[in-house]
């Protein structure tokens, strides 16, 4: 019986919002790939232009050194060496050289900055251990799944798409009279609601996973994926440091590190969890308002507000829209924005769990009381 209910709900959703779901997913993937390609091309062009300017300046400095009196040649040679080092940096810094410099800085750093430098040292060691021997500037911004889809602005696009699809599951059928109110008062009313919830989650998950895969394929063809072993620190202990930017800094070791491939997979899994909670919240909101338009307006306002609520302290962190990308909680990005060291993955998952359970309890208990 439950599978028949789910199949019925899925067929209705596909008939009413299938084109929106497919077109929205393809559009989001295409826009993300285009933005990635343009951003990467602009970054490479700027770096090449800077390298060309430095090369011309270096050639002019060498010409000056050849014609300068001996008393000035020492100073000119020092300037030449500094400029040559800058050229090497533009072409890529050897990780081993960077590790030595980071170690030196970490030994003499103030207490508030030592943790961040120790984290950089840990990342350098991880790179060397996994065959990454050179850091190239035009590769540092290379496309990655978590960066552009699962922790960036694109996640809001997928949340809006899920909002548009899910808002119709209850309120849309109430408005056009296709919801069977007699059946709702029967023994299967709870199963009907769960079937609608499962349908919305399936649509949201399919859109997010499918869009991420399409973006990965498109961006991999245009700009590459970089090393699968590029390291990322997650779950580090954070402390608030006055006068620093970001306002929270790593407290010190240990520094749990995930390679790029694992970082991306975990980002996808966590984003799917957040997407499921978001669908449950939208479905409960749809039951409460009984209006597709009102649900869309309130849901959109919540998503836009989530961009600013992270700046509102602890009160803002209680919003589920702040945690649509839980990987941002895990890698410390959310804590860096709000300035609260405790704004990590446990808090984000706790907020999502609370909203998800509350939405499920309200929607399931009130769904059978709908009246035409």
Per-residue pLDDT tens for 257-269? Answer: 999 889 888 999 9
Residue 94: strand pairing partners = 134
**pTM of the model as a whole:** 0.88
The secondary structure of residue 321, as a DSSP letter, is G
Max mean pLDDT among 180-184, 208-212, 365-369 falls in 208-212
Q: Residue 147 above 70 pLDDT?
A: no
Tokens of 170: 């209850």
Q: Which of 119, 131, 165 is nearest to 282 (CA)?
A: 165
Angle among Cα 231, 236, 242 to the nearest 5 degrees reads 115
Task: Using pLDDT thresholds of 50, 70 and 90, give the confidence band for residue 245.
Answer: confident
Give the distance, in angstroms, between the CA of residue 253 and the centroid of all CA atoms in the same chain.
Answer: 25
Specify the pLDDT at position 90.
62
Spatial distance between the Cα atoms of 95 and 302, rounded to a whole number of angstroms? 43
Residue 248: strand pairing partners = 240
Tokens of 145: 């799944």
> 141: helix, coil or strand?
coil
**What percent of the chain is predicted at pLDDT more than 90?**
26
- Residue 323, exposed/middle/buried by CB under 10 A (0-12, 13-18, 19+)? buried
Spatial distance between the Cα atoms of 251 and 116, rounded to a whole number of angstroms? 8
Give the distance, in angstroms, between the CA of residue 49 and the centroid of all CA atoms in the same chain.
Answer: 30
200 within 8 A of 169, measured Cβ to Cβ:
yes
């Amino acid at each position: 019986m439950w599978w028949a209910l789910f199949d019925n709900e899925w067929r209705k959703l596909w008939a009413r919002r299938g084109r929106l779901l497919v077109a929205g997913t393809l559009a989001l993937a295409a826009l993300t790939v285009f933005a990635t390609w343009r951003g990467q091309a602009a970054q490479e062009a700027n770096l090449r232009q800077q390298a060309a300017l430095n090369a011309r300046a270096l050639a002019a400095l060498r010409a000056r050194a050849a014609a300068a009196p001996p008393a000035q040649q020492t100073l000119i040679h020092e300037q030449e060496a500094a400029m040559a080092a800058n050229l090497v940096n533009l072409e890529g810094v050897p990780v081993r050289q960077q590790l030595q410099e980071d170690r030196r800085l970490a030994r003499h750093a103030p207490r508030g900055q030592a943790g961040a430098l120790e984290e950089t040292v840990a990342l350098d060691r991880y790179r060397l251990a996994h065959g990454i021997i050179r850091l190239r500037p035009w590769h540092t911004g290379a496309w990655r799944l978590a960066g552009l889809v699962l922790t960036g602005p694109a996640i809001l696009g997928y949340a809006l798409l899920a909002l548009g699809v899910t808002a119709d599951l209850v309120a849309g059928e109430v408005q056009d009279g296709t919801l069977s109110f007699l059946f709702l008062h029967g023994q299967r009313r709870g199963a009907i609601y769960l079937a609608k919830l499962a349908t919305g989650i399936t649509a949201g998950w399919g859109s997010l996973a499918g869009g991420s895969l399409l973006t990965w394929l498109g961006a991999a063809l245009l700009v590459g994926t970089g090393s699968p072993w590029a390291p990322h620190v997650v779950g580090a202990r954070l402390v608030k440091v006055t006068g620093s930017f970001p306002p929270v800094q790593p407290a010190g070791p240990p520094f749990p590190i995930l390679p790029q491939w694992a970082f991306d997979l975990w980002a996808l899994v966590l984003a799917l969890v957040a997407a499921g909670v978001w669908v449950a919240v939208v479905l409960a909101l749809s039951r409460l308002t009984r209006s597709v338009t009102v649900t869309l307006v309130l849901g959109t306002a919540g998503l836009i507000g989530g961009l600013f609520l992270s700046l509102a302290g602890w009160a803002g962190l209680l919003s589920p829209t702040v945690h649509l990308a839980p990987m941002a909680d895990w890698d410390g990005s959310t804590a860096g924005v709000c300035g609260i060291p405790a704004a990590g993955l446990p808090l984000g998952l706790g907020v999502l769990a609370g909203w998800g359970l509350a939405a499920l309890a309200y929607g399931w208990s009130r769904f059978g009381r709908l009246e035409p």
